[in-house]
Structure 1
Amino acid sequence: MWKRGRTLGQGGFGFVSLASTTHSPLIPSLIAVKSCMLSHSHSLEDETEFLRMCQDSPHVIRSFGVKVTQEDDILLYNLLLEYASAGSLADRLLNNDQLGLPEFQVQQHTKNVLLGLKFIHRKGIIHCDIKPHNILLTSTDDDDTEEVAKIADFGLSLTLEQSWTQKQGMRGTKRYMAPESILKQEST
């Protein structure tokens, strides 16, 4: 079981909370719980499936399953996730007093993201929203000083098959999209 703590963030899907767990050897003592109303959980259900497909990658945030709960007479769909104690790459960039990150960190984080993308692309998944906010930094089990950048937030993802068979509008965050994608969408 888990107990919800402070809110880590909010978005169009719902909210993310820090939670502590008890009596589970398979789940760490601190996790992140991504929640939304059950009646609006389609996107989070899709994200759950994408994370299940990527569970073998050390470069994708881990999922520990789903729990439906009732809180204040509202049914919530809760996706239990690995807690990224070092925050997001966006947090790191905003809170860095220097200009940018040290080169070794840039190299390591870039390598981790590329390995994660290689894995998800081999699974036939298109993330559609890679940006610093969706790259989470976790500490390795052996050494709290070494970080691993992991891809998170598969809420806008789709499969390669879906991209061929379904008409898809513009997906992603405009600020991080290729200019030609935005221009093409605006001209149609």
Structure 2
Amino acid sequence: MRNSKPKMFQLSLVIILIMAGAFMLVSWTIPMGPGMMNRFFAASDTIPSDGNRKMIDLDEAYISLEKAKEKLKEHDIAKEVAEALQRIDLTEMQSDLEDALADANHSLQDMQNACEASKIKEALSAINAEKMNAEIKVATQNLKPQIEKALKKTQIEIEKAQSEIRELKRELRRKHV
């Protein structure tokens, strides 16, 4: 046991010397210059250290923030419109329009037939069969151009709407590209 204390002392002395040597080597690699301590222990401040930067007025900052919000909203709206246009199925819409036109034509024919039937009943009571036939022909000829005119007008409006939809779709694609 007598030998153990000097060995312990020698061992702790060696460890202390190794640690001191390592500390000196690490300190030697870091260049020390004026203001070195301030760089390591500098206190942060709310004033920017860069003297060239412009101080921003709160009103200017608020205005720029509002402009950025508006641009973001516009971007979101454009994105929603583009998504909505992508969801639109033009072929389905066209087939629905064609079905609606066919239903309208059928309804017009039914209305025309009902109108003619009421006119026929009135004519039978007042006029003989020959005059009735002449009036039916005249009424049919008078109504036919009006119906055709209305159908042409609705077809033109449908084509205009389709062209507007195509144009809007092109514009949205241009904006996204």
Is the shorter-chain TM-score for this pair beyond 0.5, marking a shared fold? no
TM normalised by structure 1 equals: 0.19
Q: Larger % of helix: which? A: 2
Q: Larger % of strand: which? A: 1
Structure whose CA Rg is larger: 2
TM normalised by structure 2 equals: 0.20
